[in-house]
Amino acid sequence: MRILIANDDGYLAPGLAALVKACEGLGDIDVVAPESNASGTSNALTLHRPLNLFTAAAGEQRGFRVVNGTPSDCVHVALTGLLDRKPDLVLSGINNGANMGDDTLYSGTVAAAMEGYLFGVPAIAFSQAEKGWAELDAAARVARDIVDRALAAVRERPGPWLLNVNIPNRADAATLPRVITRLGRRHASEPVIRQINPRGEAIYWIGPAGSAREAGEGTDFFAVSQGRVSITPLQVDLTDHASLPLWHQALVAS
Ligand code: MN
């Protein structure tokens, strides 16, 4: 068994070390992670400069491969030349904060897992529901248990699949119910924050994510609000299949 682990919070993030430690004993583990925090970089690849790579020499990160790029860069480089063989599983996280609903489109955590999935490798993204790393050890135990069960699924269903897991920050996370969910929806983001820099010029900070808009029963938002571990199977096809006939009629048919 060979597992590739990445994240988007950067190689020094506690969530990455916790996930790596939780996977001890499962097989060969390769860690390839961004040099700095790359949250919110979605599936970006770095195409206009080369990427540098070094191996961390000390601490909990000893042996981690570090890339000065995005989460997708890390997994892409790992799968297309850095690793000598394809991993059986790609893991991402544990992220500092939720990745639910529309977050999944912006998330570097989900993107790192998605890069594995796009290369045909089963993949799981893990996030803690609240920022701040509270009860990280408990979240890591949840991740390990889900990995154990997913590895059995890999043997039975080798095709690629992609899971997005959100874990409440609770000491009893390992005993919380787990539910298979669909993505909810968020409201549009909060307004951009405008400030004046020391030169008198306007600068803008992207505002916080919007609150949940569609958070009904069955969604990831609902599950986490009820104190459950949310597991959403994702796919990548953005096609609006239901509207294909409508657009054919409107734009193509004579
Ligand atoms: Mn992050």
* 9 CA to centre of ligand 1 in angstroms: 4
Backbone torsions φ then ψ of 142, nearest 5 degrees: -60, -45
* This prediction's pTM: 0.96
User: What's the average model confidence in pLDDT over 64-71?
Assistant: 98
* 151 CA to centre of ligand 1 in angstroms: 25
| Cα atoms found within 13 Å of the Cα of residue 154, Cβ hemisphere only | 21
User: What's the average model confidence in pLDDT over 50-60?
Assistant: 97
* 142 CA to centre of ligand 1 in angstroms: 18
Under the banding of pLDDT at 50, 70 and 90, the label for residue 224 is: very high
* 237 CA to centre of ligand 1 in angstroms: 23
Strand partners, 165: 126, 231
Per CATH, the number for 2-185+212-251 is: 3.40.1210.10
| SS3 state at 203 | strand
* 253 CA to centre of ligand 1 in angstroms: 45
What average pLDDT does the structure give for the chain?
A: 96
* Per-residue pLDDT tens over the stretch 110-163: 999 999 999 999 999 999 999 999 999 999 999 999 999 998 887 787 789 999
**What token pair was written down for 101?**
């609903």
User: What's the average model confidence in pLDDT over 191-213?
Assistant: 94
* 45 CA to centre of ligand 1 in angstroms: 16
Contact 162, 233 (CB under 8 A): yes
- Give the pLDDT score at 153: 82
- Give the pLDDT score at 25: 95
Query: 132: which DSSP letter?
Result: S
* 28 CA to centre of ligand 1 in angstroms: 25
Q: Which of 12, 51, 45 is nearest to 31 (CA)?
A: 12
* Per-residue pLDDT tens over the stretch 88-106: 999 999 999 999 999 999 9
* 104 CA to centre of ligand 1 in angstroms: 11
Under the banding of pLDDT at 50, 70 and 90, the label for residue 21 is: very high
* 38 CA to centre of ligand 1 in angstroms: 7
Can you give the residue ranges of every domain in the chain? 2-185+212-251
Q: Which of 15, 25, 31, 27 is nearest to 63 (CA)?
A: 31
Residue type, 64: F
Q: Which of 94, 91, 131 is nearest to 114 (CA)?
A: 91
Residue 238, C-beta contacts closer than 8 angstroms, at least 6 positions apart:
none
* 109 CA to centre of ligand 1 in angstroms: 6
* 180 CA to centre of ligand 1 in angstroms: 22
Rounded to whole angstroms, how far apart are CA atoms 122 and 58? 30
* 69 CA to centre of ligand 1 in angstroms: 14
* 108 CA to centre of ligand 1 in angstroms: 7
Contact 172, 138 (CB under 8 A): yes
- Give the pLDDT score at 152: 87
